[in-house]
């Protein structure tokens, strides 16, 4: 019963944090929910070993939900698309000449996005600029 009340308390706190606005930044939100997920999985394993299957299942499901919350943004908005990019600026950003064809543009895009993607250590803004440059040049072809 104590695990159930603790789980309800954790859910209420997380829901309050989510609705109250961006109290936690993205990184902190991911750390908190990831830590709580690990605690829920550990509690589930402990209860399963002791033979308490109902609390074990509930804690396991709570852990699954919390682990899915590690991928949810904690309130930081994604950068919005800025004004339209000029063709010369797009060509300069991708490093292609004025006579570049579709294949050359796509190769330059693939090379740059591998380095600038947010999952690889880049920023959302730089990846958005590279995407905008690619879209601008491909639209002209």
The enclosing domain of 101 has a CATH number of 1.10.287.110
Is residue 53 one of the residues assigned to a domain?
A: yes
What pLDDT was estimated at residue 74? Answer: 47
pLDDT of residue 94: 93
What phi and psi, each to the nearest 5 degrees, are found at residue 73? Answer: -65, 145
Residue 7 lies in a domain: yes
Residues 110 and 65 occupy one common structural domain = no
Number of Cβ atoms within 10 Å of the Cβ of 1: 6
Q: Which of 28-32, 79-83, 114-118 has the highest mean pLDDT?
A: 114-118
10 found inside a domain? yes
pLDDT in tens, 17-63: 666 555 556 667 777 778 888 888 988 898 889 888 888 898 898 88
The mean of the pLDDT values for the chain is 80
What pLDDT is attached to residue 21?
Answer: 58
Give long-range contacts, CB 8 A cutoff, 24+ apart: 80-88: 81/128, 81/132, 82/132, 84/136, 85/129, 85/132, 85/133, 85/136, 87/136, 87/137, 87/140
pLDDT at 130: 92
Instruction: Judge if 56 and 114 occupy the same domain.
Output: no
Write out the two tokens for 14: 């997380």
Q: Tell whether 128 is covered by a domain.
A: yes
Of 40, 69, 98, at which residue does a domain stop? 69
Q: Is residue 130 part of a domain?
A: yes
What is the separation of C-alpha 37 from the centre of its chain, rounded to a whole number of angstroms? 17
Same domain (yes/no): 61, 91:
no
Joined together, the tokens standing for residue 106 give: 């796509």
Does the predicted TM-score (pTM) go above 0.85? no
> In terms of C-beta distances under 8 Å and separation of at least 24 residues, what long-range contacts does 86-92 make, across chains too?
87/136, 87/137, 87/140, 89/133, 90/132, 90/133, 90/134, 90/136, 90/137, 91/133, 91/137
9 belongs to a structural domain: yes
Decide if 93 contacts 130 (C-beta within 8 A): yes
Please count the structural domains in the chain: 2
Q: Is residue 95 domain-shared with residue 133, that is, in the same domain? A: yes
User: Are 59 and 93 found together in one domain?
Assistant: no
- Domain hosting 114: range is 87-140
Where does the pLDDT of residue 66 fall: very low under 50, low under 70, confident under 90, or very high at 90 and above? confident
- For residue 75, tell me if it sits in a domain: no
Quick: pLDDT tens for 86-110: 899 999 999 999 999 999 999 999 9
Mean pLDDT of all residues in 3-7:
67
Note whether residue 38 is domain-resident. yes
């Amino acid at each position: 019963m104590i695990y159930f009340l603790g789980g309800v308390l954790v859910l209420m706190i997380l829901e309050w944090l989510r609705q109250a606005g961006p109290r936690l930044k993205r990184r902190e939100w991911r750390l908190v929910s990831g830590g709580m997920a690990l605690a829920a999985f550990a509690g589930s394993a402990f209860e399963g070993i002791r033979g308490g299957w109902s609390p074990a299942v509930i804690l396991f499901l709570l852990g699954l939900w919390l682990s899915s919350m590690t991928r949810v943004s904690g309130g930081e908005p994604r950068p919005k698309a800025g004004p339209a990019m000029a063709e010369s600026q797009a060509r300069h950003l991708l490093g292609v000449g004025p006579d570049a064809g579709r294949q050359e543009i796509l190769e330059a895009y693939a090379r740059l996005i591998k380095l600038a993607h947010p999952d690889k250590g880049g920023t959302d803004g730089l990846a958005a600029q590279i995407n905008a440059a690619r879209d601008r040049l491909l639209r002209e072809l």
